[in-house]
Chains A and B, each alone.
Chain A
Amino acid sequence: MTTAPPAGPGDIVKTAPGPSSSHPPSRRKLTGRALSRALPVSPAVILLLLFLAGPIGYCAYIAFTDLQLTGQAESSFVGFDNFRKAFGDEAFLNAVWLTLVFTVVSSLIGQNTIGLALASLMQRASKPVRTLTGAIVITAWVLPEVVAAFLLYAFFRREGTLNAVLDFLHLPSQNWMYTLPILAVSFANVWRGTAFSMLVYSAALNEIPKEITEAAEVDGAGGWRRMWHITLPMIRRSIGTNLMLNTLQTLSVFGLIWVMTRGGPGNRSQTLPLFMYEQAFQKSMIGYGTAVALLLLVVGSLFSLVYMRLLRTEV
């Protein structure tokens, strides 16, 4: 693990010691005080242990067993078998690859850039335009995942809206969910998730003092240069936070892909969450599915680590 950055929200802030007295408080009194201080948070701690740490621990344990949902009298401990199986499983490696494609295309490139572009355009737009754009983009975001997925299914399917438009323009049409499934679901995820990035960046851009941009303008910096040398460095932390949140959300997208393609055709859009579901619930191999879930967790933490490193420069 990396060393902790200075006092984050998760750090326990030590209460400043009072004026140094000649006799330090006795140990008993201290523990008593620490105990009574810890009490108000104990319900939360108990709940977290019960509902978060408990299941997570149980999951980690299951990943090392050959537990099945059906067709087996007893499960037994199998050590690292599930993980070994995963790395020798073509379908798993395919899922890892598709997960990376999906995450990079839809979250890193799509949601992030479009979100930033929308946010900066809206900075300059007139109020009605801003309200309208915001409303449209946010609508896509607040729609329940399943509803959004069905809308996009209707958009991409062979008799769908997209092909109708292409036909009208006399361009060749095709069934996008069959020919380019992973790109179709990536696009769907961009459509659905851009609003979040847009909101984060709008807030960040509003934080930039006007004087600085104006000064740069006076100095003759054009739009792109201002973006590159002033705006981006100033919202660097928001970019990092946004990337992190986006990536973690995208890594675990399930419903959207499930409704649109079910991971098909074949397994050409089967990202890790869908692969996990198939192994655990359709092939009943709970143990293996859970092991894959743990590996997904690893992928997520790798991404997070990279972002944290990026964030730590010159705080």
Chain B
Amino acid sequence: MPVRPTTPLLLATALVAAGTLTACGGDSGDDPDTVKVSFKQSTDNQVKVMDTYLADIKKQFEKANPGKKVKLVPIKAPDSEYYTKLQQMMRSPKTAPDLVYEDTFLINSDITSGYLKPLDPYLDKWEDWNQFIGTSKSAAKAADGKTYGVPDGTDTRGLWFSKGIFKKAGLPADWQPKSWDDILETARTIKKKVPGVTPLNVYTGKPAGEAATMQGMEMLLYGTGQDPMYDPKSKKWVTGSQGFKDSLKFVETVYKEKLGPDVTDALDPNFATRVRGELLPEDKLGINLDGSWLPQDWGKGAGHEWPEWSKKLGLAHMPTQNGEAPGKVSMSGGWTWAIPTKASNPDLAFKFIEQMQTKANAQKWYVANSGIAVRKDVAADPAYLKAQPGLKFFTDLVPSTHYRPAYPAYPKVSTAVQEAMEKVTTGDASVEDAASGYDDEVKAATDGEVVEK
């Protein structure tokens, strides 16, 4: 008769086995002396702008605070997937970083979800906060009047154009369109006289994500009149506006007349990377409606070195639809540093923000990522404006810039914009149908909080 283990012993063994296998340890790495910083790593392996900068701040911080450690948690993903990953991390205290890098268009949505901590108690005691420009302070201010993030710069948008292609087409080197029609006419000229290049790029469709909404649609839409997207008086989203249809019409024209990139390229999720790394440097794109940050990829050691870009490219501001006052349009967004509600070391995290946002460090960052300064002292510093060609042009757009109506429903409205753009780009729907599709989507996304214009 073999000895049979008794039932209790077996039970105990089973439980121990299950326990070890599931590894239900309580170790979530919450060391009170370590601050975990998550940030978005570029999907272009050659671009290491943010990694380099944060490594430098980490060194400074650890030196200034002996015994404290910084753990950098990079998230390598395209924008839309980065947000998703971050939101999932912030849902649990086990995975929440102490400091997160939040895009301003999403911040209100995340505040509503209760993911982020109000920073007012810290900001009240932080002297440098007074150096921040008013509009930038409100970028991360929620409906409850509290501030949830510290901006690390902003951006503006305009038209980049290739002087080489313009010369071949017999167009002026100091080109400045006065209306949408000017832009289209110029693109037609390029198409006629310089075959083999893309005359004009306007980001479009779901694969481009927020770039399509902001660099594409909103740069057009905000040139058609007051508050074209969201009506602050009635606190409702705007539907059925003529401006929206006109903007869609513009996008449709670009792709229908083949003034833009081939539709299949435009709807390739990696197209934005190609524009910066390939089309512009190789003189294959006439006009590009894009953001102020492009040169961050072209600097020394940034990945795609192109020191002569400032001689090869011209800059023009985006005109309003028919040249109505003020004549210029720009959109501004930007990113902020925020602290999750479930962070385990919020105090240390804010200390890290302070370290990042000293005048010297902030200036270093603005220059490294071609950002527009949001600190008054840096903006006034001649060394900053001289640090990179183009910074002055894009900084001068700040007075005529617009901010997105980044309310909690914005991300969904933005997706609806991309869908409408994609429909007219592929020719799957007319402008009218695409616009009414947008109206339906917005109604659904905002529980009917809309106003007809």
In the complex, chain A residues whose CB is within 8 Å of the CB of B83: 70
Stretch at the interface among B106-114, B321-329, B393-401: B106-114
In the complex, chain A residues whose CB is within 8 Å of the CB of B428: 266
Q: A73-B114, A262-B207, A266-B428 are known contacts. Are A39 and B109 too (CB-CB below 8 A)? A: no
- Are B14 and A39 within 8 A (Cβ)? yes
Q: A32-B7, A43-B17, A283-B415 are known contacts. Are A68 and B113 too (CB-CB below 8 A)? A: yes
Q: Does A69 belong to the interface (CB within 8 Å)? A: yes
Instruction: Select the residue from B114, B265, B267 with max chain A CB neighbours within 10 A.
Output: B267
In the complex, chain B residues whose CB is within 8 Å of the CB of A68: 113
Closest residue of chain A to B407 (Cβ to Cβ) is A71
Closest residue of chain B to A39 (Cβ to Cβ) is B10
- Interface residues of A, CB < 8 Å — how many? 30
Q: Does A203 belong to the interface (CB within 8 Å)? A: no
In the complex, chain A residues whose CB is within 8 Å of the CB of B265: 158
Q: A36-B10, A265-B422 are known contacts. Are A281 and B264 too (CB-CB below 8 A)? A: no
Q: How far is the CA of A43 from the CA of B19 in the complex (A)?
A: 9
Task: Tell me which of A47, A72, A158 contacts B264 (CB under 8 A).
Answer: A158
Q: How far is the CA of A283 from the CA of B10 in the complex (A)?
A: 49
Q: Does A131 belong to the interface (CB within 8 Å)? A: no
Q: How far is the CA of A158 from the CA of B17 in the complex (A)?
A: 55
Task: Tell me which of B21, B112, B113, B409 contacts A47 (CB under 8 A).
Answer: B21
Task: Tell me which of B7, B264, B408 contacts A265 (CB under 8 A).
Answer: B264
Segment 100-151 of B: residues with Cβ below 8 Å from A:
106, 108-110, 112-115
Q: A46-B14, A73-B113, A284-B411 are known contacts. Are A264 and B205 too (CB-CB below 8 A)? A: yes
In the complex, chain B residues whose CB is within 8 Å of the CB of A36: 4, 7, 10
- Are A265 and B22 within 8 A (Cβ)? no
In the complex, chain A residues whose CB is within 8 Å of the CB of B436: none
Q: How far is the CA of A5 from the CA of B415 in the complex (A)?
A: 49
- Are A178 and B263 within 8 A (Cβ)? yes
Q: Does B18 belong to the interface (CB within 8 Å)? A: yes
In the complex, chain B residues whose CB is within 8 Å of the CB of A42: 11, 14, 18
- Are B422 and A40 within 8 A (Cβ)? no
- Are B106 and A264 within 8 A (Cβ)? no
In the complex, chain B residues whose CB is within 8 Å of the CB of A72: 112-113, 408
Segment 397-435 of B: residues with Cβ below 8 Å from A:
408-409, 411-412, 415, 422-423, 426, 428
Q: Does A249 belong to the interface (CB within 8 Å)? A: no
Q: Does B31 belong to the interface (CB within 8 Å)? A: no
- Are B267 and A265 within 8 A (Cβ)? yes
In the complex, chain B residues whose CB is within 8 Å of the CB of A178: 263-264, 267
- Are B110 and A70 within 8 A (Cβ)? yes
Q: Does A151 belong to the interface (CB within 8 Å)? A: no
Q: Does A165 belong to the interface (CB within 8 Å)? A: no
Q: How far is the CA of A32 from the CA of B285 in the complex (A)?
A: 80
- Are A39 and B87 within 8 A (Cβ)? no
Q: Does B80 belong to the interface (CB within 8 Å)? A: yes
- Are A43 and B14 within 8 A (Cβ)? yes
Instruction: Select the residue from A36, A39, A73, A265 with max chain B CB neighbours within 10 A.
Output: A265
In the complex, chain A residues whose CB is within 8 Å of the CB of B226: none
Task: Tell me which of A35, A70, A283 contacts B7 (CB under 8 A).
Answer: A35
In the complex, chain B residues whose CB is within 8 Å of the CB of A262: 206-207, 269
Q: 1/0 per residue B261-281: CB within 8 Å of A?
A: 011110101000000000000
- Are A70 and B113 within 8 A (Cβ)? yes
- Are A71 and B263 within 8 A (Cβ)? no
- Are B113 and A39 within 8 A (Cβ)? no
Q: Does A133 belong to the interface (CB within 8 Å)? A: no
In the complex, chain B residues whose CB is within 8 Å of the CB of A265: 205, 263-264, 267, 422, 426
Q: How far is the CA of A72 from the CA of B108 in the complex (A)?
A: 10
In the complex, chain A residues whose CB is within 8 Å of the CB of B109: 70-71, 284
Closest residue of chain A to B410 (Cβ to Cβ) is A71
Q: How far is the CA of A71 from the CA of B413 in the complex (A)?
A: 12
Instruction: Select the residue from A36, A42, A70, A72 with max chain B CB neighbours within 10 A.
Output: A70
- Are A264 and B115 within 8 A (Cβ)? no
- Are B84 and A281 within 8 A (Cβ)? yes
Q: Does B310 belong to the interface (CB within 8 Å)? A: no
Q: Does A177 belong to the interface (CB within 8 Å)? A: yes
Q: 1/0 per residue A288-311: CB within 8 Å of B?
A: 000000000000000000000000
Task: Tell me which of B84, B112, B415, B422 contacts A264 (CB under 8 A).
Answer: B422
Q: Does B60 belong to the interface (CB within 8 Å)? A: no
B56 → A minimal CB distance (Å): 31
Q: How far is the CA of A26 from the CA of B37 in the complex (A)?
A: 64
Q: How far is the CA of A283 from the CA of B21 in the complex (A)?
A: 36
Task: Tell me which of A40, A175, A264 contacts B206 (CB under 8 A).
Answer: A264
Q: How far is the CA of A259 from the CA of B284 in the complex (A)?
A: 26
- Are B80 and A282 within 8 A (Cβ)? yes
Instruction: Select the residue from A39, A51, A71, A175 with max chain B CB neighbours within 10 A.
Output: A71
- Known contacts A39-B7, A71-B108; 13 additional CB pairs below 8 A are A35-B7, A36-B10, A40-B10, A69-B113, A71-B412, A73-B114, A157-B264, A177-B264, A262-B269, A264-B207, A265-B422, A281-B84, A282-B84
Q: List 6 A-B contacts (CB under 8 A).
A: A39-B11, A50-B22, A69-B84, A70-B115, A71-B409, A281-B81
> Interface residues, chain A, CB within 8 Å of chain B?
32, 35-36, 39-40, 42-43, 46-47, 50-51, 68-73, 157-158, 175, 177-178, 262, 264-266, 281-284
Q: Which 6 A-B pairs have the closest CB atoms?
A: A71-B109, A39-B10, A178-B264, A71-B408, A46-B18, A43-B17
